[in-house]
């Protein structure tokens, strides 16, 4: 679920911006497309928001709000496209719950709170990897949460 957390943190400010400036119906439609996997890179939701924002495709937001321009929209759409079906369903459910809440709670932190609660209740899964490395001082790892202790001999080696 780490991809869901990362993607949610990236898209939350822009969903909040769109919900508050363009209306919740725009986000409701996006929430349904996210769940159905019809939001994919190339024809994505955020790219459509840019065009919808000012009619000229220049961007949405700015000043004290995050700026959503064409380049950022493409990045966000690619992040959405990379989510698994399970992650998309959780994100969709979180967005729906967020939209049902009071208007004064339609901001990025509250959306992330919904995502976090749904993801934790869905239960995580443990993936086991067996990285292998050889040679003095070698280490192979995918993602490390915690401390690393490397063993080795007590004697030091001088390469000179």
pLDDT at residue 47 is higher than 70: yes
Confidence of residue 87 (pLDDT cuts 50, 70, 90): confident
Tally of structural domains, the chain? 1
HSE-CB at 3 with a 13 A cutoff on CA atoms is: 13
Report yes or no on 84 lying in a domain. yes
Report yes or no on 157 lying in a domain. no
Q: Of 85, 81, 93, which is closest to residue 117 (Cα–Cα)?
A: 93
Report yes or no on 160 lying in a domain. no
Lookup: tokens for 73: 């929209």
Report yes or no on 128 lying in a domain. no
Report yes or no on 151 lying in a domain. no
pLDDT at 74: 85
Confidence of residue 130 (pLDDT cuts 50, 70, 90): low
Report yes or no on 110 lying in a domain. yes
Confidence of residue 116 (pLDDT cuts 50, 70, 90): confident
pLDDT at residue 96 is higher than 50: yes
pLDDT at 56: 47
Q: Are 43 and 66 in contact (CB under 8 A)?
A: no
Report yes or no on 56 lying in a domain. yes
Q: What is the mean pLDDT of the chain?
A: 74
The span from the CA of 102 to the CA of 107, in Å, is 10
Q: Of 59, 77, 57, 71, which is closest to residue 10 (Cα–Cα)?
A: 77
pLDDT at residue 33 is higher than 50: yes
pLDDT at 46: 80
pLDDT at residue 41 is higher than 50: no
Strand positions, DSSP E, 28-150? 60-62, 65-68
Report yes or no on 52 lying in a domain. yes
Which structural domain range is residue 43 located in?
A: 2-122
């Amino acid at each position: 679920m780490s991809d869901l957390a990362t993607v949610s943190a990236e898209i939350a400010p822009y969903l909040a911006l769109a919900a508050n400036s363009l209306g919740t119906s725009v986000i409701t439609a996006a929430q349904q497309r996210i769940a159905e996997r019809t939001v994919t890179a190339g024809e994505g939701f955020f790219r459509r928001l840019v065009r919808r924002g000012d009619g000229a495709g220049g961007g949405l937001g700015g000043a004290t709000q995050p700026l959503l321009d064409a380049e950022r929209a493409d990045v966000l759409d690619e992040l959405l496209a990379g989510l698994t079906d399970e992650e998309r369903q959780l994100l969709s459910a979180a967005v729906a719950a967020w939209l049902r809440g009071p208007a004064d709670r339609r901001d990025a932190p509250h959306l992330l709170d919904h995502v976090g609660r749904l993801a934790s209740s869905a239960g995580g899964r443990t993936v086991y990897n067996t990285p292998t490395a050889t040679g003095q001082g070698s280490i192979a790892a995918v993602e490390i949460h915690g401390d690393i202790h490397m063993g080795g001999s007590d004697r030091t080696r001088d390469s000179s």
